[in-house]
Chain A
Amino acid sequence: MWRRMISLLRKEFAQLSRDKAILFILIWSFTGGIYTAGHGMSGDINNLPIVIYDLCRESESRDLISRFRPPYFKVMAYLQAESEITEWLDSGKASLAVIIPPDFKRKIAAGEQAKVQTISDGTISMTATLAIGYIAQIADAYSRQILEKRGQAASLSLKNLPVIDERLRVQFNPNVLSSWFTALLELFNMFTMISLLLTAAAMVREKEYGTLEQLLLSPANPSEIFMAKIIPTVMLVLPLSSLSIFLILKGTFHIPIRGSLLLFYAVTAIYVFTISSLGIAIATVSRNLAQAMMTMFLVLMPMLYLSGAWTPPEAMSPVVRVLTLLSPMRYFIDFGFNVLFKGNGFFYIWPDIIGILIMGVLLFSFSKWWFHRSIAK
């Protein structure tokens, strides 16, 4: 059995190494791809273009305006007429308008409540929600300053207002760098996509060329043929992941890797096996690569949405939350963040490992069953 396996593996590696471009693309996706993802994409607001329509034009309103500054906001223009707001927001050159009413100074002076209005571009609703939060925080800080001043004028010691001074400390990612999150998530996505694409393509190719029949005539059985497709993927992805962890995650993002790398590699190997089995399963049901690719997207997209990467499973509706249990990515992302970020050990993540294993074994058996069925026809 081992001799058959080794010769099958030699064949697979020979086929893979025939196209040097593949290796180059793989190296790029695990280094440059992750680097650009972590740096370029940010879930936070940076330099959001805003316009200001100041009807008050007093020192108070200017004081408030001066607080809208980079890195969060970038003031594009000070408007003269209300119609200009429409123009800026319509053209998308500004994503938010701040309107300060003419009675701003008078109301503050009179101890009434002055209202600042913001109009945001609802077409980018996610950003709009975040931006309004920031503006509220800025206005709040300014309000408190006004109150303190007022208190001083009334010779009250308002230095210790009964406010909750929130000092949020975020565990495991102290500066809440979204680049850490994105880069790590991108690495996990790469594991998924590369294992899926590579294995499925290698399998479908045999069908397209008609060489699958030759393999079947050989003494190798279907399990061995499948394993010979899966093992090269595992052997390629593991060194590539080290490259990415040491060169990119540690080297350029300075992400502290807390957990045991050995555990990480071991589970990654199991995960790649599971996803590759999914690739094999897709390949056995499709006739050519284009077909397999379309099926892969059909599977990959829900898997991504259900993985809990963008929305935590706790926030999903109950039905969808049960469905997430079907996405192997969900287990792996949970495992990956737990081990690499938090440094948790085996004790915390064994359910994830079992989840990944069960999915893998199921998919592998499905491929075998379908394969037997299609040969019998």
Chain B
Amino acid sequence: MRAMTAQGYVSAVDAQFNQKMVSQYLSRVGGQSVAGVYPIAVEGRAWYNPSLESKNFMIPGLLVLTLIMYPPMLVVLAIVREKELGTIFNLYCSPIRRWEVVFGKAIPYIAIVFINYLMIFTLSVLLFKVRFTGSFLLLSAGALLYIASTVGLGLCISVLSRSQIAAMLLSFIVIMLPSFMFSGFMAPITSMDATGQFISRFIPASYFMGMVRGIYLKGLGFSYYKWDLASLAAYAVIVYGIFIISFKKRIA
């Protein structure tokens, strides 16, 4: 990584020097016929983030990552702790329905994390002064769907584990690390190989990442992101569906 960056700089310096050397040499040796300027110059411009400031790139990305780091872990621990301590049998025995359990568990977390999202958003705009050109409402709608799916993902993990340690490690390996690596946070998904692209399809963060950066910097509207929103909604439906089906109530 470092070697690559350094290599890039060396090449750039070298290329500039070469250009100068070549034009000097040509005007000296060749006279008028070949003298003059280097034939092609590349002018680079960047849209949406003209000075290519990394904060405009990092902070929206970190918003996405933060919202997938904490929520699934907290939900998973909340449920698996009940399993470990045995209080989950109170739920099994009570007359409430399965979907009531699900929403009873999920809604407080969704609400808390949504407040968290509002805080991060405020900080990013007021403190870090990240360019924000899009619609706050659209971003919030996306965030709500996204948070619902990350919390739901936590519920799914809780089905698989019996102890808190296992639950924690599992959500770490299955949710956090892949989100960090394959959501497009560091490098675009198009640059990954087939495995990486395949994995990225299963992470809600990869649907939300493009959307957040787009809304922040490009200021685009609903029509550009309807498919991402639909994917997030579908994701939420699937994860809650899996949990409701696998959460078997034992009737005494």
Residues of A bordering B, CB below 8 Å: 18-19, 21-22, 25-26, 28-29, 33, 36-37, 39-49, 64, 74, 89-92, 95, 108, 111-130, 132-133, 135-137, 139-140, 142-144, 146-147, 150-151, 154, 156, 161-164, 166, 168, 170, 173, 176, 178, 181-182, 193-194, 197-198, 201-202, 205, 208, 288-290, 293-294, 297, 310, 312
Contacts and interface: CB of A to CB of B under 8 A. Distances in A.
B7 A176 contact: yes
Contacts of A197: 165, 168-169, 172
27 contacts: A19-B165, A25-B169, A36-B196, A41-B182, A41-B186, A41-B196, A49-B190, A114-B39, A114-B40, A114-B41, A121-B48, A124-B213, A125-B49, A135-B44, A136-B12, A137-B11, A146-B39, A156-B29, A161-B21, A161-B22, A168-B7, A170-B3, A173-B3, A178-B4, A182-B1, A197-B168, A205-B165
Interface of B is mostly: helix
Contact of A47 (B29, B42, B190): B190
Nearest to A172: B3
Nearest to B174: A25
B43 A64 contact: no
A91 B25 contact: no
A76 to B, nearest CB: 10
Interface in B5-50: 7-8, 10-12, 14-15, 17-19, 21-22, 25-26, 29-30, 33-50
B41 A116 contact: yes
A90 B221 CA distance: 10
Contacts of A26: 169
Interface in B185-234: 186-188, 190-193, 195-196, 199, 210, 213-214, 216-218, 220, 224
A127 B188 contact: yes
B69 A297 contact: yes
Interface of B: 1-4, 7-8, 10-12, 14-15, 17-19, 21-22, 25-26, 29-30, 33-50, 52-54, 56-57, 60, 69-70, 73-74, 77-78, 81, 160-166, 168-170, 172-173, 177-178, 181-182, 184, 186-188, 190-193, 195-196, 199, 210, 213-214, 216-218, 220, 224
Contacts of A114: 39-41
B40 A116 contact: yes
Nearest to A89: B47
B22 A147 contact: yes
B168 A201 contact: yes
A176 to B, nearest CB: 5
Given A22-B169, A39-B196, A146-B40, 10 more contacts: A41-B192, A44-B4, A113-B39, A118-B44, A121-B46, A122-B46, A136-B15, A150-B33, A156-B29, A182-B1
A135 B12 CA distance: 11
A182 B195 CA distance: 15
Contact of B42 (A22, A116, A150, A290): A116
A130 B34 CA distance: 32
Given A133-B12, A198-B165, A42 B192 contact: yes
Nearest to A301: B69
Contacts, number: 276
Contact of A124 (B44, B81, B168, B188): B188
Interface of A is mostly: helix
Contacts of A161: 21-22, 25
A23 to B, nearest CB: 10
Smallest CB-CB A-B distances: 6 pairs: A40-B196, A122-B49, A122-B46, A132-B44, A123-B213, A125-B52
A339 B183 CA distance: 32
B15 A36 contact: no
Contacts of A92: 210, 214
A288 B85 CA distance: 13
A126 B186 contact: yes
Contact of B173 (A29, A113, A156, A182): A29
Given A46-B191, A122-B217, A289-B81, A117 B43 contact: yes
| From A19, A150, A176, residue with most partner B Cβ within 10 Å | A19
Nearest to B171: A293
A87 to B, nearest CB: 10
B46 A119 contact: yes
Nearest to B24: A162
Contacts of A29: 169, 173
B26 A163 contact: no
Contacts of A126: 54, 57, 186-187
